[in-house]
Amino acid sequence: MYSQIRSGALYGINSEQVIVETDLSPGLPAFNVVGLPDTTVKESKERIRAAIINSGYKFPAKRITINLAPAGTKKEGTHFDLPIAIGIMSSIGLIKEELTKKFAFLGELSLDGSVNRINGVLPLVIGLRNQGIVKIILPQANAEEASAIDDILIYPASHLGDIVAHFDGDFAILAYKKKNKGQIVKIRDDMDFSDVAGQECVKRALQIAAAASHNVLLIGPPGAGKTMMAKRMPGILPAMTYEEKLEVTKIYSIAGELSDNHPMIMTRPFRSPHHTITGSALIGGGRSPKPGEVSLAHFGVLFLDELPEFNRYVLEMLRQPLEDERVTISRSLGTAAFPAKFMLLASMNPCPCGYYGDPTHECTCTHVQIRNYLSKISGPLMDRIDMHIEIMPVQYKELADMEGLNEELQKLLPVRNSKIMRQEVEAARQVQIERYKDEEISYNSQLTPGLIKKYCALNTEAKKLMEAAFNRLSLSARAHHKIIKMGRTIADMEGMEQIGAKHLAEAIRYRSLDKIYRGL
Amino acid sequence: MGLQYEQIKLKQIKKVHIYDNDYPEMLTYISNPPKVLYYTGDITLSSMPCIAIVGARKATSYGKWAAYGFAKKLSEYGIIVVSGMAYGIDTHAHKGSVESTGKTIAVLGCGIDICYPASNKDLREKIIKDGGLVLSEYEPGEPPLPFRFPMRNRIISGLSLGTIIVEAGINSGSLITAECAAEQGRNIYALPGNINSMYSLGTNKLIKDGATPLITFDDIIDELGIRRQPALSRQEIEIGKDEKSIYEYILRSGETTTDFICRSTCKLPSEVNAIVTILEMKGLVHTSMGKIFVAN
């Protein structure tokens, strides 16, 4: 009266195979689960008992022992319900055990025996596939999500009874067919850069940022259009590759943010947490580690509006993920590493009242207040931000008046919509992917000093310009690499192989914050 | 007291009494001269022709640029620049003087051993090192308290032949300095500003009330009755055609943004940004808070 059923357990975004062993022995009726189950798994006993009985089967009045092997690692999640139930049923002979050998089972049971949706299906399925399993029975509601993996057969189950009938041969659960092979990527058309009047300079800067995932800080008085433009950022980000989509979907699967209508993350994520966010919500955490906003923004944008309003210690936590592109979280129930390769987009006012430098409003802050406000963003964090862009509110009438006067201008500066901007970004990103195909990186902002030497050779003219810039504009040494990386991106946007002086000159314009500090 | 004496010796703080020969003569003519001045540096500066440059702590780039420019111009003619070493205009006035090898006097509103604001420590050291003078009527160790600054202003204007108010809001403390200067019978010069700028309301009002407006840097030299020196042979800066067209537009508008330059010169933002950087490096323009100005 012994059986073995395969299932999986999640560790961070990775998963491992778990063998659910069931043993029925004579004795006082009891039901024990061993192998370091957490509360959700222990509770499953009650669900399983009710589900089996309510599906019309008999629950064995025996001493039941379930072992989740390997027994030394902690297991959590409700997806063990189904494999344990199947294990019990095959131990009492309701299901022939040899038929279940090729299958793995994942699913949560409802008291009436129906199979409910679970979190983290994608990483579990990927883990099981890597163990050589090709057939997986999982909840109907997770089928579309799991079908993102091509070389595996998904058998969607909606009720425990169906599974028993399937193995009896009374009823066949058919392998799931993907609804639509290539899902249409929906691009929101209510958020377009053509809504933003003027500000060509800022648009251009954001385009450069999107092309190589440079971190950006937007500084300007209220009403200048910082948030408006940041919200339009997703529309110009380059499309994700299949591998990227899969990796992002894995994270969302664990966080439980996927649904039937939205089984796969197709576009780059754009996360904008409120400034009251806590450290563990931003970085990830919890008793058993869950991904935070930085991981949910993986391959996408993390937008922090009103940066100095964030708790300072929360902001400091960003330093490590910005550097390592991953976060490792250790808690009592285990250690998990989540990827966090995101582009940081932040916005802030230049002072507490917001109007420092604004032409039409008086700033009411004292110097000390302004200094304190700016110093909320620490040097090391500032270090990791490549581009500082100052935004001034547009006197739209003035701009429009000038436009009317000049026809040549309208040809040159048509109102650029997100579609055109995205095409240019895609082209520049393609150049980078091509260039770095033999390296571990895929875009310019990831360049290390060693790689900068290899890929960002400067000609004499450019070198002279850099030298002059450092002396004349008293740029910091740390700005040096950032400017070269940005210069590389600007050259890529123009399709140029060599970084020219004009590319660097433009890049220097995007390093202005050092000057604000200096000017005070 | 013992400790204070030690400090005085240690920090080379000296003291000049109103009956001493070194006491600045100009100060003896005002109605309530300080009996004692504590100082570090070269006290003889205070008996040379001085001009005060004052203005708001919170200043615009225009104000800072002008303060720097006037200080530089005065220094070229050997005139001592007096200011209060506060943030903003004061700091830039001292810088303009120090950076063009001129001599400058900083009058403090606290004990002379205290550096207020602390961020001007480097500047203070530079002033003393370059043969300038830092002085105060307060005993070493006196903290900077709000009421001391208006008192200090009477010394700034009292030391000087005239006072230039660079930028002042309608309630600015610089207007107190202007008032002192008027009471002491010294000249008042003011820098005109745009009438929609909060930071120039005070100075514009001074002009309306009879202060002399300064519309070029040379005006102050003419006002002092000094013969203008032929302009120092300025190094000819080579600029290209595109740079020239953008530079000319910036010259015409005085203060502008990249968006406006794009529109008026029919160039893409990428080009304009690159050229602005190059112009800035050639020292022709100056950028701050998203705006572009003409530098001098």
Which CATH number is A18's domain given?
3.30.230.10
Residues A140 and A236 in one domain: no
**For residues A7 and A20, is the Cβ–Cβ distance under 8 A?**
yes
Residues B40-69, buried b or exposed e (16+ Cβ, 10 A)?
bbebebbbeebbbbbbbbbbbbbbbbbbbb
Question: Which amino acid does the sequence have at B32?
Answer: N
Report whether A260 contacts A249 (CB < 8 A): no
Are A141 and A208 contained in the same domain? no
Name the stretches of chain A with pLDDT < 50. Answer: 518-520
Task: Tell which residue, B121, B129, B119, has the closest CA to residue B99.
Answer: B129
- Count other C-beta atoms under 10 Å from residue A259's C-beta: 11
Q: Which pLDDT score is estimated for A401?
A: 61
Alpha-carbon distances of A243 from A250, A258, A266, rounded to whole Å: 11, 18, 11
Range of the domain at A163: 2-168
Q: Are residues A202 and A148 in the same domain?
A: no
Residue A402's pLDDT is what?
59
> Which of A406, A509, A519 is facing B277, going by the closest CB pair?
A509
Q: Does some domain include residue A128?
A: yes
Q: B2-223 is classed in which CATH architecture?
A: 3-Layer(aba) Sandwich (3.40)
Distance CA A458, CA A466 (A): 10
User: Taking the CB of residue A37, how many other CB atoms lie within 10 A of it?
Assistant: 23
Determine the number of helices (DSSP H) and then strands (DSSP E) in chain B.
Answer: 12, 12
Q: Are residues A255 and A370 in the same domain?
A: yes
**Contact of A8 with A48, CB cutoff 8 Å:** no
Of B60, B260, B270, the CB nearest to A204: B270
Tokens of A514: 């050092």
**Could you tell me if A27 and A90 lie in one domain?**
yes
Both tokens of residue A135?
């057939």
CATH 3.40.50.720 fits B241-294, yes or no: no
SS3 at position A38: coil
Whether chain B has a CB inside 8 Å of the CB on A509: the answer is yes
Same domain, A378 and A334: yes
Contacts of B87 in chain A (CB under 8 A): 367, 520
Same domain, A8 and A82: yes
B287 contacts in chain A (CB < 8 Å): 509, 512, 515
Chain B: residue nearest A470 by CA? Answer: B281
Q: Does B61 touch chain A (CB under 8 A)?
A: yes
Q: Would you state the structure tokens that stand for residue A330, as one six-digit string?
A: 């250790």
Q: How far is B64 from chain A (nearest CA, A)?
A: 9
Alpha-helix residue ranges (DSSP H) falling in A226-311 = 226-231, 242-255, 279-283, 293-296
B90 CA: distance to closest CA in chain A (Å) = 12
Residues A16 and A129 in one domain: yes
Residues 38-57 of A with CB under 8 A from B: none
Contact A394 B275 (CB under 8 A): no
Clarify whether residues A372 and A266 are in a common domain: yes
Q: What is this model's ipTM?
A: 0.71
Has residue A187 been placed in a domain?
no
Q: What is the DSSP letter of A199?
A: -
Q: Is A208 among the domain residues?
A: yes
Distance CA A498, CA A431 (A): 13
Q: Give me the residue label for tokens 């995101």.
A: A342
Answer yes or no: do B264 and A199 touch at CB < 8 A: no
Give the predicted TM-score (pTM) of the model: 0.74
Q: What is the CATH number of the domain that holds A218?
A: 3.40.50.300
What local confidence, expressed as pLDDT, does residue B277 receive?
85
Positive or negative CA dihedral for B219, B221, B225, B229? negative
Q: Count Cα neighbours of A105 within 13 Å in the Cβ-side half-sphere.
A: 29
3-state SS class at A181 = coil
Q: Which residue has the tokens 């150049």?
A: A431
A32 in reach of chain B (CB within 8 A): no
- Name residues 168-227 of chain A within 8 A of B (Cβ): 198-201, 203-204, 220
Q: In the block, which residue shows the tokens 């004795």?
A: A27
Based on the fold, state whether residues A161 and A197 are members of the same structural domain: no
Chain A contact present for B277, CB below 8 A: yes
**Dist. CA A35–CA A56, nearest whole Å:** 29
Distance CA A200, CA A420 (A): 14
Give me B61's structure tokens: 């780039």
Residue A369 contacts B, CB cutoff 8 Å: no
Q: Name the stretches of chain B with pLDDT < 70.
A: 1-11, 230-237, 295-296
Strand partners, B287: B292
Burial of B130 (0-12, 13-18, 19+ CB in 10 A): middle
Candidates B196, B259, B293, partner chain A, best to mutate (most A CBs within 10 A): B259
Tell whether A357 is covered by a domain. Answer: yes
The DSSP 8-state label assigned to residue A498 in this structure reads: S
Per the structure, how many domains does chain A have? 2
Strands (E), B71-211: 80-83, 104-107, 133-136, 162-165, 187-190
Q: Is residue A497 part of a domain?
A: no
Interface of B with A in 126-145 (CB under 8 A): none
Domain boundary among A380, A413, A446: A413
Count other C-beta atoms under 10 Å from residue A75's C-beta: 24
Residues A160 and A197 occupy one common structural domain: no
Please report, for chain B, the start and end positions of each structural domain, with discontinuous segments joined by +: 2-223, 241-294
Binary contact (B268, A362; C-beta < 8 A): no
From chain B, pick out residues whose CB is under 8 angstroms from the CB of A406. 263, 266
What's the per-residue H, E or C state across A160-219?
HHHHHHHHHCCCCCCCCCCCCCCCCCCCCCCCCHHHCCCCHHHHHHHHHHHHHCCCEEEE
pLDDT at B233: 46
**CA B171 → CA A66, A70, A355, B199, B201, distances in Å?**
81, 77, 18, 10, 9
Residue B194 has a pLDDT of 87
Q: Could you tell me if residue A263 is inside a domain? A: yes
CA distances to A195, A355, A391, B2 from A358, in Å: 22, 5, 10, 51
Domain match, A155 and A248 both = no
Residue with tokens 């940022």: A209
Chain A residues touching residue B167 (CB < 8 angstroms): none
- Gap between the Cα atoms of A119 and A123, Å rounded: 10
